[in-house]
Amino acid sequence: MEKSIYQLICDNYVDGALSESFTLPAGDSGAAALCFAPGAGDGITIYHSARSSLNSLQIKLMAQALESASEGDYEEADELFYRLTGEKRAISLIDELQRYVDSHTDELDMEELFYASHYLITESTHTECVKIGLSIMELYGISDEGVREVIRRLGSYDEFTIFAIWNIRKWETGNQEIFELAKKVHSWGRIHAVERLEPETEEIRHWLLTEGTVNDVMNSYSALSCWRKSRAEKVLFGKPTDEEYRGISTLIDALLDEGPVFGISRLDDPEKMLLRFVEISPAYELGEEDCEVIQNIRFWAEDNYGHDSPLYVACDEILPSQS
């Protein structure tokens, strides 16, 4: 018998974390299962794609799947949802699915629907169906610790992190749980977690400053959120420690890269901020990476203000001495 996705994750879940080398085997087929790194397909959809509504046939299929789930036929519901997500990724249909459930609570057996969602997340062998299960479960207030642990484990895999977070944020300690999850994922999962993490404590703010934007995709996706949530500018205009300086350097480098998302252009006074960073840099032991950041700042200053700008001149004064 083929193992469920959840069982595969449990088999590779050790000491509260998923092995970083673990990836689900390619097995699903259809339009929703193009080859992406874990979480990449949904990440691209969230950040870069317009979402289209379900057509009439897809709505009918979704309704049939929910009806089967409501009637306790979980295997049929799994198969119908698999057919549906073969045409459209779960990330693109969950809003309509949740609205449908909310508007049909008198017709659907909500208790059976809950058990169906639990079946999907623990027994399905289809990636997108696990996401559907998590999306349905989001409609319930989950207090059962056993179910929460299932969600935590699924969330430790980048492909499911965002769906787990939508559940976790409703828990009484949701923000701290998202923080713990953010530290365990390193790709799209971290990007999604950082975006939804509130800087409630100094520990969280420090992590956002020094580690939050570092991921295996592109640091720029999280740079602006980390800059704002960590209060990086306040740290910069104080007396940054060596660790804080390195964190600010990493953030600035990512902010300067506005290829995938907005960054440096969304700050109120980027020239002032960058000039402060360059002016304090000689107080630290600068390595090759630090000099590359200052070089990138010089390129930015040249493009925006020219060779005579104070920022460009400040960069120029530092870089020759480091060569």
Would you tell me how many other CB atoms lie within 10 Å of the CB of residue 100? 16
Phi-psi region of 65 (alpha: psi -120 to 50; beta: other; left: phi over 0): alpha
What's the pLDDT at 323? 46
Spatial separation of the C-alpha atoms in residues 220 and 121, rounded to whole Å: 32
- H-helix or E-strand spanning residue 214: none
- Between CA 81 and CA 169 the distance in angstroms is 25
In which region does residue 44 sit, left (phi positive, over 0), alpha (psi from -120 to 50) or beta (all else)? alpha
pTM (two decimals): 0.93
Distance, in Å, from the CA atom of 178 to the CA atom of 196, rounded to the nearest integer, reads 8
Of 151, 184, 146, nearest to 168 (Cα)? 151
> How many other C-beta atoms lie within 10 A of the C-beta of residue 246?
17
Whole-number Cα distances in Å, 146 to 31, 112, 151, 193: 33, 18, 9, 22
- Which of 118, 120, 195, 131 has the alpha carbon at shortest distance from 157? 131
Task: Provide the pLDDT for residue 28.
Answer: 59
The C-alpha atoms of residue 105 and residue 113 are separated, in whole angstroms, by 10
- Give pLDDT, residue 34: 57
pLDDT by 10s per residue, the chain, length 323? 489 999 999 999 998 899 888 999 876 544 445 567 899 899 999 998 877 889 999 999 999 999 999 999 999 999 999 999 999 999 999 999 999 999 999 999 999 999 999 999 999 999 999 999 999 999 998 999 999 999 999 999 999 999 999 999 999 999 999 999 999 999 999 999 999 999 999 999 999 999 999 999 999 999 999 999 999 999 999 999 999 999 999 999 999 999 889 999 999 999 999 999 999 999 999 999 999 999 999 999 999 999 999 999 999 999 865 54
